[in-house]
Amino acid sequence: MRGDLLGRWERVRALATARPMLLDLGIALLVQGAMTMPFLVPRAPGLPPATWGAYGLSTLTVVPLVWRRRAPLTVLLAVLAANALYRFTLDGPGQPLPYTGLVAVYTIAALSPAAERLVTGLVLLVAVPAGVWLNTRSARELTFSCFVFAAAYVFGRLTDARQRAQRVEAERAAARERARIAREMHDILSHAVSLMIVQAEAGPVAVRAAPERAEAAFDAISATGRDAMAQLRRMLGVLRDQDAAGGSPRAPQPGLADLPDLLDRVRESGPVVRYRVTGAGRPVPEDVGATVYRVVQEALTNTVRHASARGVSVRLNFTGQALEVAVSDDGRGPGPRPGTGHGLAGIRERAAAHGGTAVTGAGPGGRGFEVRVRIPVPAAEEAAR
C-alpha cells in the first residue's frame, strides 16, 4: 500500500516537472478551493453577504496564479490590485489567510532575481500596513500578516537553495560519471592498442624467422581487438537503452575471474607473466572486482609499453580486512621524470573510490617497477554482520 502511494507520488512529481503549467493550474485550483470555504459556511447577521458577485471577484484574485512562474512580480501586483478591487467594491466574506499573496511571494522568493525580490519587499512594506489599516487596524493583525509573508519568503528562499544544491550535486555526479567513463575507455583502449602494437611489430620478424609464430601473432592481434570491442560495447551499453530489436547485451564488468584471460593475452605479447593468489580468498563485490581488473590491466599495459621487461608478476593477497594487489616487472624501472599519461593517476583514483590506497615506484630490491594497491574488503563474517 505504502509502495503504491509512493509510486503514485513519484509519477505526480514527474508529471509536474515535465508540465509545470499543470502544477500551477493545480495550485490555483487548490487556492480557489480554500477561498471558497467562507462562502459556503453560514454567516452571522451583520456580516457582508456572500453574493455571487463577491465570489466572482474572489476568483479574479486567484486567476493570475496560473502564470506565477512566467512573471512572478506581475502576478503579485495583479493579485494586490484584484484584492483592492474586491475590498472597495463588493466586499464579501473575508479570508483567514491571504492565500494568493502568500503563493505569489513564495514564487518570487524561489524563482526571481534579487532585484525583483527587493521590489517585492518594498511593495509589501506599503501593501501589508495598508491592508491592515483598511481591515481591523490592530497591531495583532499587522504582526500576524508580517509573520506569514516573511514565512512565505523564507520558504521560497529555502526552496531556491535546495534546488541549487540539487543542480550542483547533479553536475558533480555527471562529472564523476564522465571521469569514470574516461578511465574505462582509457584502460580498455590503451591496453588493447599496446598489445596490438607489440604483436604487429613482432610480426614481420616472425614471418622471416618463424612463420608459425607470425600466424600466432596475427591471431593475438585479432583476439585483442575483438576483446576490446566487446568491452567497449559492454560499457557503452550501460549508457543507452537496449534496442528492442536486439542491442548490445549488458554483461557485467570484468572481475577477478577474468584475470587469467587477461594474463594470457599479455603472455602472447612476449613477457613471462606469473600469477599468484595468497590468503583466504573470498568473493568480493563486483565493483571491487572490476577495479582490481582495471588496475592489473593498466599496470600490465605500462609494462608492455614502457618497461622492456622480460617478466612480470601479478600477486593478489587476501588479508583479514583488505585485498592487496601488486604488479611488478623486471624492466627499466621508474623514469627520471613522471609520465604525462593518465594511467597511474587513474589507478590512484580507482583505489581512492573504494577507500583504498595506491603506491607506485621501484620494485623489490630497487629493480623494475611496481604498482601496489590496497582496497578494504572485509571478511565474509564481518560483511554479513
Tens digit of each residue's pLDDT, the chain (385 residues): 555 655 565 665 555 555 778 888 888 888 888 888 888 777 777 666 777 878 888 888 898 998 998 899 999 999 888 888 888 887 667 777 888 989 999 999 999 999 999 999 999 999 888 888 887 788 888 899 899 999 999 999 999 999 888 888 888 887 777 777 777 777 777 767 776 776 666 666 655 666 665 566 666 667 777 777 766 666 666 555 444 444 444 455 788 988 998 888 888 777 889 999 998 888 888 889 888 998 998 888 888 877 778 889 999 999 888 999 999 998 887 765 454 456 788 888 888 888 899 998 888 878 889 999 999 987 655 545 4
User: What pLDDT shows up at residue 372?
Assistant: 93
**Length of the chain, please?**
385
Give me the amino acid identity at 109: A
Reported pTM: 0.55
User: What pLDDT shows up at residue 244?
Assistant: 42
Strand ranges (E), the chain = 272-279, 311-318, 322-329, 357-362, 369-376
Domains, the chain: 2-137 (no CATH), 176-384 (3.30.565.10)
User: What pLDDT shows up at residue 313?
Assistant: 92
Beta sheet of 311-318, edge-to-edge order: 272-279, 311-318, 322-329, 369-376, 357-362
User: What pLDDT shows up at residue 340?
Assistant: 47
User: What pLDDT shows up at residue 342?
Assistant: 65
Q: Is 375 helix (H, G, I), strand (E, B) or coil?
A: strand
User: What pLDDT shows up at residue 242?
Assistant: 44
User: What pLDDT shows up at residue 337?
Assistant: 46
User: What pLDDT shows up at residue 169?
Assistant: 87
Say if residues 295 and 254 touch (Cβ distance below 8 Å): no
Question: Alpha-carbon dihedral of residues 254, 255, 257, 259, nearest 10 degrees?
Answer: 80
